[in-house]
Chain A
Amino acid sequence: GQNIDQPTEMTATEGAIVQINCTYQTSGFNGLFWYQQHAGEAPTFLSYNVLDGLEEKGRFSSFLSRSKGYSYLLLKELQMKDSASYLCAVRDSNYQLIWGAGTKLIIKP
C-alpha cells in the first residue's frame, strides 16, 4: 500500500529552528508538497519539490531525497504564528495525491 509518515506532534521554541520529517512509500513519484494548516482554516500551499535537493523560500525550506523516499520542512526563526499543522503529500505515478496525517507544531515563547 501507499503510505506517508510524519510525526504527530512537535514542540519548539520561538526564535529557534525546527525540522519536520516526512517519509513516503508510494507507487511512483511525481512531486512532493508541503502545506500549512492553522486550526479551523484551509491548508495553504508552502512548497513543491520534484527534484532532489533543497528549495528555500524565506524562513521555510524544503528538502527532497527521492532515493530515500524522504523529505523535510525546515522552519527558521520560529514565530508564534507558525503554530499550525504541516501536511506532507506525494503525487504518485497516477498523479493521485497521497496525504500524510499532518504534524501539529506547537511554538512556545
Chain B
Amino acid sequence: ETGVTQTPRHLVMGMTNKKSLKCEQHLGHNAMYWYKQSAKKPLELMFVYSLEERVENNSVPSRFSPECPNSSHLFLHLHTLQPEDSALYLCASSQDGEGTGNTIYFGEGSWLTVV
C-alpha cells in the first residue's frame, strides 16, 4: 500500500457541479497539504493542516474548501469551479518537528478537468 493515496485519479466536472477529492496517508505523519500543479509552473501550495488545524490558506478562492477530519485524512471540496482550475491536485504529508527535514511525501494526484 502506498504511503499517500488519492481518489479519484481523474475527475471531469462542470462549472456548476460539487465534487470532492479525497486523500489518505498511511505514514503516521502529523501534517497534510494540498498543492496545485499546472503545466510548466511551480507547485502552488493551497492548504496546510498541522495536527488537524489549518495553518495556511494562501489566498485560495473560496470555491476550494478543505476539510481535515483527522491526521490521516484530508478532503478538498470543489464548488462552481472555473476552467482555469483544471490542473493536477496533489496531496502530501510530512512529519513536522526538529531535525526531520520535514520531507514531504506526495500522493499520485488527482487530474481535474473543468468543462
Tell me if A44 and B106 are in contact (CB < 8 A).
yes
Cα(A79)–Cα(B41), bound, Å? 26
Residues of B with Cβ closer than 8 Å to A? 4, 40-43, 45, 56, 90, 101-109
How distant is A6 from chain B, measured CB to nearest CB, in Å? 10
Cα(A96)–Cα(B46), bound, Å? 12
Tell me if B45 and A45 are in contact (CB < 8 A).
no
Tell me if B107 and A31 are in contact (CB < 8 A).
no
Tell me if A99 and B42 are in contact (CB < 8 A).
yes
A7 within 8 A of B: no
Complex: chain A residue closest to B2, CB-CB: A42
- If A42-B90, A42-B109, A43-B90 touch, does A33 touch B103 (CB 8 Å cutoff)? yes
A87 within 8 A of B: yes
Residues of A within 8 A of B104 (CB): 33, 45, 97
Task: Count A-side interface residues using an 8 Å CB cutoff.
Answer: 23
A66 within 8 A of B: no
Residues of A with Cβ closer than 8 Å to B? 4, 8, 31, 33, 35, 41-45, 48, 50, 87, 89, 91, 95-102
Tell me if A8 and B106 are in contact (CB < 8 A).
no
Tell me if A45 and B103 are in contact (CB < 8 A).
yes
Tell me if B108 and A42 are in contact (CB < 8 A).
yes
Residues of A within 8 A of B42 (CB): 4, 98-102
Cα(A98)–Cα(B35), bound, Å? 12
Residues of A within 8 A of B4 (CB): 42
- If A31-B101, A48-B101, A50-B101 touch, does A42 touch B107 (CB 8 Å cutoff)? yes
How distant is A39 from chain B, measured CB to nearest CB, in Å? 11
Cα(A48)–Cα(B4), bound, Å? 20
Cα(A101)–Cα(B41), bound, Å? 5
